[in-house]
Chain A
Amino acid sequence: MVLDHHHHQWTASPLVGNYADDSTLEREGFDSHDPILNSQGEAYHEDCLVCAQCFRQFPDGVYYEFEGRKYCEYDFQVLYAPCCNKCKEFIVGRVIKAMNTSWHPEHFQCELCGRVLSDIGFMRNQGRALCHPCNDRVKAEAAGKYICYRCKAIIDDKPLKYKNEPYHPYHFTCSNQDCGRELDSDAREIREELYCLRCHDKMGIPICGACRRPVEDRVVTALGKHWHVEHFVCAKCEKPFLGTKHYEKKGLAYCELHYHQLFGNIDFVSGEIIEDICVTALNKTWKPENFVCWSCETPMDERTKFLEMDMLPVCKRCYERFPGELRRRLTRHYEAAQRIRPLAPESTIAHVSSEEYERSMVVSACFPRMCFREESR
């Protein structure tokens, strides 16, 4: 008696789609055997026909044959039926052999998004089975690339950003009706429309030199570039000029204060900007009329010899009137400073007497240098 309703088929269904080279999908599976009473043309006494494992008669006469031996359903499953790697139950019917193990078709899922992979194919990624979109995304993330927001595939070249999402540029054409060409990554977004660079430039919308976005309202033109009013700022304090005067130097713009502070055109005594000739001495800049002996206020010129106290100029005559103990202390500090940081090549003498100190101060670093204010606008 053949029990048709116990007909089981043990197969591994081939998967649909493209398989990666590293896919270990196994296509061969078990072939089924009909549980029959009359095996391979041979007749058995019903009680002689027993399970090769448990030696009991087959319940309802249903047995499974494998490699010439017959088993009850229970033992056949224990011995030969595959177990689903996900739910750990026996698999009856279609088996998915993948990732070196077996699965119920509905339990072979993408490890990231949970989509069933049995009929759509999968990719092995670091020991995980992933659907194609997830695999692409993971690979793109690892390579620092973007995934196209429209087609979900990796963008290998430069993406085109549109409304803050990355796209393959070829999904778009120029919004200018007369142009309509396919876009590349140089395309520009204006009021949520994309234009090719040529059409964009013809529209005459300037690009801000700071943020690289189009300047649609007030535009400032300076340093050979265009700027948003609020993005044209002092290179030092980063405050926007907002229409106030600025100074340019070496491709950078500065507010009045920082330009003069950085490039040395503030008179130390008056705190005012030096308009024409300035004296540079003692790490400070001076209007010529304010470069005087700190003590007696006698004017000095570029030939006047002077000494330094606390980085202020003191004429020789005044210095000689200073208390001797003060002069000795200044000399001692000077010597100590020499050991730490030689001021000028000619004053590298390790130990100088007080007299030598005065002399070396006169001849070293302290001649005022005349300099001219640099061009500014």
Chain B
Amino acid sequence: MAAKVHKAIQDAQHQGRRDLDLVEKTITSFNEIPQVLSMTHITRLNLAHNKIRVVPPAIAELVNLESLNLYNNYIVELPTSLSGLQRLRVLKLGLNRLDELPRGFGAFPVLEILDLTYNNLSERKLSGNFFMMETLRALYLGDNDFEILPAEVGNLHNLQVLVLRDNDLTSLPKELGQLKSLRELHIEGNRLQVLPPEVGLLDIVGPRQIFRLEDNPWISPIYEQLQIGTNHLMDLLRSANYQSVYARHVQAGGAIPPAIHDKSRKSSRRKD
């Protein structure tokens, strides 16, 4: 296997190619592929389906990198230097074991697509500047441990896709209503009972839009409209009547529904 990896790297070097695919090569560490960190001309690096645990600080040497794919590895640690990649536009870290993000993670200057699906992240584990990434067009946070979505999400005014599927969200901030570019919102599989009325202002219902919200303990007015269709739900959210329903619900501060998923069996929790 190691021989195959080196062949792939050599081929790429000889052909002067700008992208490097090392998918499913049972790589456990960058130490096995030290040459890669000196291939400063590459723009795309794909290491999906390996067993890498740690991304070394030297990854920042790949100054021309535009797309970095580390999907389905064992990553527990990212270097602070990562956000120094000045050209990185696409970063895929889905299906890993991240408990937290490094300091200053939000400093990427041009990041447009960030996939953090299926890790162990929550609002308490994000870097302080996470919601400063105004260039983000798509943010995938499905299958994590968020209970609260920080209000600063409203800063991400270029966001077109926001996925929060299968978290532990108990509420959403009204600042979601500021995401004027949003075309896809996925909030299925959370502990949500109400939606802020501001969600009714979003352009997320229509033939080119996606609004997924099943598997939440919705209050009956929302549940009932949902049965007829998302258009009806949006009408409800925009109604004066719903404003008072929502205000009363928030004021009453009733019991929060319990977590639904048993996350202990998530592979992101594994320590091996």
Contacts and interface: CB of A to CB of B under 8 A. Distances in A.
Interface of A: 264, 268-271, 283, 294-298, 309-312, 318, 321-323, 325-326, 329, 332-333, 336-337, 339-341
B184 to A, nearest CB: 6
B123 interface: no
Given A269-B113, A297-B48, A329 B71 contact: no
Contacts of A268: 138
B200 interface: no
Contacts of A297: 21, 23, 46, 48, 69
Given A269-B90, A332-B215, 6 more contacts: A283-B208, A294-B115, A295-B71, A321-B72, A325-B266, A337-B188
25 contacts: A269-B90, A269-B113, A271-B89, A294-B71, A294-B115, A295-B49, A295-B71, A296-B23, A296-B24, A296-B46, A297-B23, A309-B117, A310-B163, A310-B165, A311-B186, A311-B210, A318-B49, A321-B49, A323-B267, A326-B143, A332-B215, A333-B165, A333-B214, A337-B214, A341-B230
Interface residues of B, number: 47
Interface string B232-272: 00000000000000000000000000000100011100000
Interface of B: 21, 23-24, 46, 48-49, 69, 71-72, 89-90, 92, 94-95, 112-113, 115, 117-118, 137-138, 140, 142-143, 161, 163, 165-166, 183-184, 186, 188-189, 208-210, 212, 214-215, 226-227, 229-230, 261, 265-267
Nearest to B137: A271
A326 B215 CA distance: 15
Nearest to B267: A323
A8 B229 CA distance: 88
Contacts of B261: 329
Contacts of A340: 214, 226-227
A311 B188 CA distance: 13
B188 A333 contact: yes
Contacts of A312: 140
A321 B24 CA distance: 11
